[in-house]
Structure 1
Amino acid sequence: MQTARSVVAGGPVRSEPLTFVVAAVPGVTLTRWTRAWHERSDIPLDVMRTAPQTQLDAVLTGDADVCFVRLPVDTDGLNAIPLYEEVAVVVVPEDHRFAGADSVTLADLEGENVVDGEWSSSVELVATGVAVTVVPHSIGRLFSRGDVAAVPVADAPATRVALVWRDDLLDDDARDRVDDFIGIVRGRTANSSRATPAAPSERPTASAKKAAAAKKAAAQSASPRTAQSRGKRPTRARRPRQGR
């Protein structure tokens, strides 16, 4: 295990012990990925949460090795891997006419006071009964409470979560760590990730083939088997056909 992080010239320098840092916007559940990392690596992993408005700052400054963001974002100069989509939900007061619905449409929301702002503040406003707000499904689950309800919006655009990183701030070791984490996120097992391919088997030479054939022929001649010993009926001689 290394004791310090090194980056290419022009990037930030850290003197503290080496740690792999993952940043993520609210609502992204990291548990299964961080657990797999701890099982496979002896390098500590830290998680930092970012605000939606500044979700790229951590990777742009080098404070995080990778970051989970919600698209669209400006990925100029960044590497990005789109991961999965989230349906949208409308968060309404518990006694709202849509509270018990299986789903609604954008047309259903016409005439509603739809607020669009910081998520926790918007949900607080919804709880007062004066507004509704449309958010990604994981955000509706994150800020769920007894006095509001989240209902899927069938025709609202889905939001996509992506993993991004800034490659020009990474040295070779850091790139290896990022590759390892990408493998975990994509579902590669410990055995399949970064595995060394097996060496191809050598083809037998012509002389080896000839020797093997001779050995096989000698073995067959040393222990001949009759047709009857092989389980076949012996061939009977045919009688000459009598003239009529």
Structure 2
Amino acid sequence: MDRQDDQGDGSRIDVEVDGADHDQEVATPALTVAFARGVNPGKWARIWNERRPDDELRLVRVDLDEQREVLRSGAVDVALVRVPIDTEGLNTIALFEELPVVVFAKGAALGEHDTVETAALAEEQLIMAPLVLGWADQADTLGFAAPAAPLTSDPEAAIELAASEVGIVVVPQSVARLHQRKDVEYRPIVDLPPVPVLLAWPRDREDEALEEFIGIVRGRTANSSRRSAPAETPAAAAPQQTGKRRKPPKAGSTPGTAAGTSRGAQLAARKAKQEALARERRKKRKGR
């Protein structure tokens, strides 16, 4: 299904979600961007529309097991992906990190503290495979080494089951916020690592529209966003000389200052004049 998001300024962003019928497409977008569930590309899409109002930007939501495939197959041009992902053959830029959280029914014992540790989850029913890093390392101690088949692979459905006190869901915080309900709560899991979010695109893919979007995500201005990012080295960061030649200093001037205009030059000239007058007066006295 396709959804058209009206941005309120006359511009339009096409958002494609699961189950889209590609046979009904009538126009080729200038750029197709995939985004992991919970990641919000809205800010960058609005900037795109401001700079390129005549070029369609298509957004496609993907889940963890799809994000590598859509890039490999060429179904999308660039993607906002969540780690873990196989980055072989991809260029990536680290954007930000998300907290891993556990979602549970409102009023459950897990909500007694502001944070939880994985050990507190050992007796809970895991509704779906966690979408966070580090969980496999904790599986043996938690008793999830050989868990029963997940009840669902859809985060929204899993959180709905959590609301019914069926079990818990472990997801990045943005996913918990996306599917927030009045009958569930979530808490950060302090002993799991944060979940990185990356911008990723195929290494062999280069075109002007892609460079524009990469520039927008990296915060480059409209005047510079169409250029590839320079190498982040000290030499590249140093200001470049313009090649203009400096005019030679005028006679009697101090290097770096305009002749006769600096306070130091004026005082030196006055002192030299006073000394010359003093020498003249001494000569006159001797001649008497």
Shorter-chain TM-score: which interval?
A: 0.7 to 0.9
2:244 corresponds to? 202
1:188 corresponds to? 220
User: Following TM superposition, by how much is the alpha carbon of 1:28 offset from its aligned partner in structure 2, in angstroms?
Assistant: 0.4
User: Following TM superposition, by how much is the alpha carbon of 1:114 offset from its aligned partner in structure 2, in angstroms?
Assistant: 2.4
2:62 corresponds to? 50
1:3 corresponds to? none
Spell out the pairing of 1:84-95 with structure 2 (5 A cutoff): 84-95=96-107
When normalised by structure 2's length, the TM-score is 0.62
1:159 equivalent to 2:201? Answer no
1:128 corresponds to? 164
Identity of aligned residues (%): 36
* Distance in 1 (alpha carbons) for counterparts of 2:63 and 2:29: 25
2:115 corresponds to? 103
Distance 1:215 1:81, change over 3 A: same
* Distance in 2 (alpha carbons) for counterparts of 1:149 and 1:202: 64
* Distance in 1 (alpha carbons) for counterparts of 2:244 and 2:192: 58
1:37 corresponds to? 48
User: Following TM superposition, by how much is the alpha carbon of 1:19 offset from its aligned partner in structure 2, in angstroms?
Assistant: 1.8
- The superposition leaves residues 97-128 of structure 1 with CA deviations (integer Å, 9 ceiling, x where unpaired) of 12252111111222122222421221121111
Runs of 4+ in 1 over 4 A off after TM superposition: 194-199, 229-238
- My pick for the range that moved more, 145-154 or 184-193, is 184-193
User: Relative contact order (alpha carbons < 8 A, sep ≥ 6): 1 or 2 greater?
Assistant: 1
Structure 1 counterpart of 2:183, one-letter code:
D
User: Following TM superposition, by how much is the alpha carbon of 1:30 offset from its aligned partner in structure 2, in angstroms?
Assistant: 0.7
Structure 1 counterpart of 2:35, one-letter code:
A
Q: Which runs of 5+ in 1 are unaligned?
A: 1-13
1:24 equivalent to 2:35? Answer yes
- The superposition leaves residues 13-43 of structure 1 with CA deviations (integer Å, 9 ceiling, x where unpaired) of x994442111111100111111111122242
1:116 corresponds to? 128
RMSD: 3.6
1:144 corresponds to? 180
1:177 equivalent to 2:203? Answer no
Contact 2:125 2:166 in 1 (8 A): yes
2:74 paired residue among 54, 62, 66: 62
Question: Paired residues, what number?
Answer: 212
1:80 equivalent to 2:122? Answer no
* Distance in 2 (alpha carbons) for counterparts of 1:16 and 1:147: 42
User: Following TM superposition, by how much is the alpha carbon of 1:151 offset from its aligned partner in structure 2, in angstroms?
Assistant: 0.8
* Distance in 1 (alpha carbons) for counterparts of 2:33 and 2:100: 25
User: Following TM superposition, by how much is the alpha carbon of 1:234 offset from its aligned partner in structure 2, in angstroms?
Assistant: 5.5
- The superposition leaves residues 34-65 of structure 1 with CA deviations (integer Å, 9 ceiling, x where unpaired) of 11111222422111111222122222221211
Q: Which runs of 5+ in 2 are unaligned?
A: 1-24, 130-152, 229-238, 254-258, 283-288
